[in-house]
């Protein structure tokens, strides 16, 4: 008999089909940490027919914006988002990478002004999809695709 790993939520956002092991990074991208008010359930290495193993994140009582959720595509391109109201899915969509990104990532170029201490500067990136997904720093032009290593 199938067993529910984590319980259903009444209202909020469910992020499904996250690549196994990436759920903590998803929380980081969404700015959810120990200081956040939301109730968060997290399941890792859940068996999945499509993916073998996957992670799931459920955020109770919070409706995250589509733009905010699309940032997840940087590290979990196959993730799906379910918006839940009264235990029912009212909206479902796949994440798509944003065209522009402010914050979240830091430029890997140590000589970039966006890494300068004491400057009131927010790193800005263009997100470009060619054969692979990569970010281009709007300040120094450095191109990179290793998003996980460069999360703020």
Both tokens of residue 46?
């859940």
State the Cα–Cα distance between residues 65 and 125, nearest whole angstrom. Answer: 19
Is residue 19 annotated as involved in ligand binding?
Answer: no
User: Of residues 141, 145, 148, 151, which one binds other proteins by CB under 8 A?
Assistant: 141
Length of the chain: 152
Smaller CB separation from other proteins, 103 or 141: 141
Main-chain dihedrals φ then ψ at residue 57, nearest 5 degrees: -125, 130
State the Cα–Cα distance between residues 10 and 45, nearest whole angstrom. Answer: 23
Q: Is 151 among the residues that bind other proteins (CB under 8 A)? A: no
Is residue 107 annotated as involved in ligand binding?
Answer: yes
Give the chain's largest Cα–Cα span: 57
CB–CB of 118/98 below 8 Å?
Answer: no
Stretch that binds other proteins, among 26-34, 55-63, 93-101, 131-139 (CB under 8 A): 131-139
Q: Is 48 among the residues that bind other proteins (CB under 8 A)? A: no
Which of 142, 98, 106, 141 is CA-nearest to residue 123? 106
Site string for other proteins, 72-101 (x = CB under 8 A): ------------------------------
Both tokens of residue 100?
């522009």
Q: Is 63 among the residues that bind other proteins (CB under 8 A)? A: no
User: Of residues 11, 60, 68, 138, which one binds other proteins by CB under 8 A?
Assistant: 138
User: Of residues 13, 70, 114, 150, which one binds other proteins by CB under 8 A?
Assistant: 114
Residues engaged in binding other proteins (CB under 8 A): 109, 111-114, 116, 118-121, 137-143
Binding-site residue positions for Zn(2+) = 107, 112, 137, 140
């Amino acid at each position: 008999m199938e067993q529910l790993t984590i319980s259903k939520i009444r209202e909020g956002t469910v992020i499904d089909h996250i690549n196994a092991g990436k759920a903590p990074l998803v929380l980081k991208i969404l700015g959810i940490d120990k200081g956040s008010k939301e109730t968060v359930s997290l399941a890792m290495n859940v068996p999945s027919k499509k993916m073998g193993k996957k992670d799931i994140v459920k955020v109770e009582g919070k409706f995250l914006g589509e733009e905010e959720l699309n940032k997840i595509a940087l590290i979990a391109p196959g993730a799906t988002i379910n918006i839940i109201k009264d235990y029912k899915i009212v909206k479902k969509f796949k994440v798509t990478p944003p065209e522009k990104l402010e914050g979240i990532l830091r430029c890997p170029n140590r000589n970039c002004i966006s890494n300068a201490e004491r400057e009131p500067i927010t790193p800005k990136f263009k997100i470009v999809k060619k054969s692979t997904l990569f970010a281009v720093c709007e300040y120094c032009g450095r191109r990179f695709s290793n998003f996980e290593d460069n999360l703020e």
